[in-house]
Amino acid sequence: MDAINPATGERIATYEPDSASDIEATLARADDAFADWRERPIREREELLAAAGDVLRENKRKYAELMTEEMGKPISQAVSEVEKCAWICDHYAEHASAYLQPDGHPAPPGANVETVYDPLGPVLAVMPWNFPFWQVFRFAAPYLTAGNVGLLKHASNVPGCATAIEEVFREAGYPEGVFQTLLIGSEAVDDVLADDRVRAATLTGSGPAGRAVAATAGENLKKTVLELGGSDPFVVLDDADLDEAAETGAWARNLNGGQSCIAAKRFVVHTDVYDAFIDRLVEEVESLTVGDPTDGATDVGPQASPDLMDDLHEQVQQSIDAGATVLTGGGPLDRDGAFYEPTVLAEVPEGCPADSEELFGPVAAVFEVENEAEAIEKANDTEFGLGASVWTEDRDRGRRVARQIDAGCTYVNQLVRSDPRVPFGGVGISGYGRELSEAGIKEFVNRKTLWVE
């Protein structure tokens, strides 16, 4: 596995993939570790998680630089990502015990009935490259603290991040085998998931990858949580604060180089404010600094690889050929590295890639609608259903419109984000199940009824 710096095209390091015997040893360690780990008092598991948060804070610059090197995230955003991982450790270190308290039920005289929450066992996590630390801690913090053990199959272009995360848990004092990284390709996932020692799986990634994991898990009757792609609408109504909406919208589309499932991708704008909003959005997009991701002043770094950039540009070009108008950007930058211009497309025809597909890069598609009802209709005109953002000065109106959008999470006057305190996940082809908060920690437990007379 070669780690390639997408800003320079240089090879950073080469990692040897795990052999069949390595995989077997990893699974055996996980199975052995679970037998002891599940019996640890939850307070001990919370204390270890708090220690992992400390390790992250102590090494945040080192881990941030590793992310920037491997997948091109601007360094300021990479530092923020490590800090967010420490926050999720803090959250579950404080709240896991309360989340997993037994729930009582009505019972006949002389009986006590409750639901208790027991861990399942080794959980396989298939994780993406775009948030290489956050996506992993989003699964590891709750699931390990619930008493499961973790097996990470990370994206092949961030092997250094994968091994560094294992280092975090080791330095925090976790027992051997409680969290392990598998350096394997996608072709090996089916065999690992089918192994009897693996009890469940979670995946964040593409639709095809999600379907493949769900199919194998289904054949083996194993629980899964899938967080897949998104084509999130960013709805701007006629009474929105246009300056704030444009500033936030430009950031929501271009954060992390636009490589985010919950990025604002389809801007649905009321006709009464369409021209004014477009002018502001283009101005905000053009003000973003594109460049060296190691520079703290950079807003937008490279795409994660030249191949991904080429795929994005093909979608943009097909949309332009279908009739979309380029208001700014529109192609790769003439420089070394996989840099793509922050782009705004208007007059986007129905059915072209910018309308119907997920564009995983810094490209905003803008749609003009006549009224609120049409805005809701356009927001829901997609197979995806991850997040949505609605902008209006009337909070009651925003709540009403947000309730009518088919998505796992809807935000009014705020960009879509994942937060440890609230459930996160999608509907439709954006996946199923929930991560984070109490809902997330209970995804991979046995909700056991305990009746005592």
pLDDT at 303: 98
Half-sphere exposure of 354 (CA within 13 A, CB side): 30
Residue 432 is predicted with a pLDDT of 98
Q: How many CB atoms lie within 10 A of CB 167?
A: 14
Work out the widest C-alpha separation in the chain, in whole angstroms. Answer: 78
**What's the confidence (pLDDT) of residue 216?**
98
- Taking the CA atoms of residue 430, residue 435, residue 440 and residue 444 in that order, the dihedral angle to the nearest 10 degrees is 70
Q: At what angle do helices 42-58 and 159-172 cross, to 10 degrees?
A: 130
Per-residue pLDDT of the chain (453 residues; tens, 9 = 90+): 999 999 999 999 999 999 999 999 999 999 999 999 999 999 999 999 999 999 999 999 999 999 999 999 999 999 999 999 999 999 999 999 999 999 999 999 999 999 999 999 999 999 999 999 999 999 999 999 999 999 999 999 999 999 999 999 999 999 999 999 999 999 999 999 999 999 999 999 999 999 999 999 999 999 999 999 999 999 999 999 999 999 999 999 999 999 999 999 999 999 999 999 999 999 999 999 999 999 999 999 999 999 999 999 999 999 999 999 999 999 999 999 999 999 999 999 999 999 999 999 999 999 999 999 999 999 999 999 999 999 999 999 999 999 999 999 999 999 999 999 999 999 999 999 999 999 999 999 999 999 999
Q: Which residue has the tokens 């998505």?
A: 407
Return d(Cα 151, Cα 433) in angstroms, integer: 19
Structure tokens at 308: 């991904």
Query: d(Cα 409, Cα 401) in Å, to the nearest integer?
Result: 13
Within 10 Å of residue 106's Cβ, how many Cβ atoms?
Answer: 6
For residues 231 and 384, is the Cβ–Cβ distance under 8 A?
Answer: yes
Q: What values do phi and psi take at 391, rounded to 5? A: -120, 120
Cα 222 from Cα 188, distance rounded (Å): 17
C-alpha distances (whole Å) from 420 to each of 85, 89, 138, 147, 350 are 10, 9, 8, 18, 36
Per residue, the 3-state secondary structure of 44-74, as one string, reads HHHHHHHHHHHHHHHCHHHHHHHHHHHHCCC
Two tokens, residue 313: 């540009």
- Angle (CA) 331-337-343 rounded to 5° is 25
CATH class of residue range 2-228+428-452: alpha beta
What is the pLDDT, as a whole number, of residue 316?
98
DSSP per position, 135-172: HHHHHHHHHHHTT-EEEEE--TT-HHHHHHHHHHHHHH
Question: C-alpha angle with apex 19: 13 to 22, nearest 5 degrees?
Answer: 100
CATH of domain 232-412: 3.40.309.10
- Nearest-5° Cα angle at 268, 264 to 274: 120
Report in angstroms the alpha-carbon separations of 280 from 245, 273, 305, 328: 9, 11, 30, 12
Q: In what order do the strands lie in the sheet with 325-328?
A: 325-328, 343-346, 363-369, 264-270, 232-236, 387-391, 409-412
CA distance 324 to 350: 10
Quick check: 342 and 330 in contact, CB under 8 A?
Answer: no
**Statement: the pTM of the whole predicted model exceeds 0.85:** yes
CA 330 to chain centre: 26
Ordered DSSP codes for 97-117: HHHTSPEEE---TT-EEEEEE
DSSP symbol at 25: H
What are the contacts of 37-42 at 24+ separation with CB within 8 A?
37/119, 37/147, 37/149, 37/175, 37/178, 38/118, 38/119, 38/147, 38/148, 40/147, 42/96, 42/97, 42/100, 42/145, 42/147
What are the residue boundaries of the structural domains of the chain, listed by start? 2-228+428-452, 232-412
Q: How many CA atoms lie within 13 A of 381 on its CB side?
A: 20
361 within 8 A of 308, measured Cβ to Cβ:
yes
- Active site residue ranges: 227, 261
The DSSP letter of residue 428 is G
Q: Which two tokens stand for residue 255?
A: 């954060």
274-286 vs 242-254: helix axis angle to the nearest 10?
50
**Measured between alpha carbons, how far is 45 from 185 in angstroms, rounded to an integer?**
31
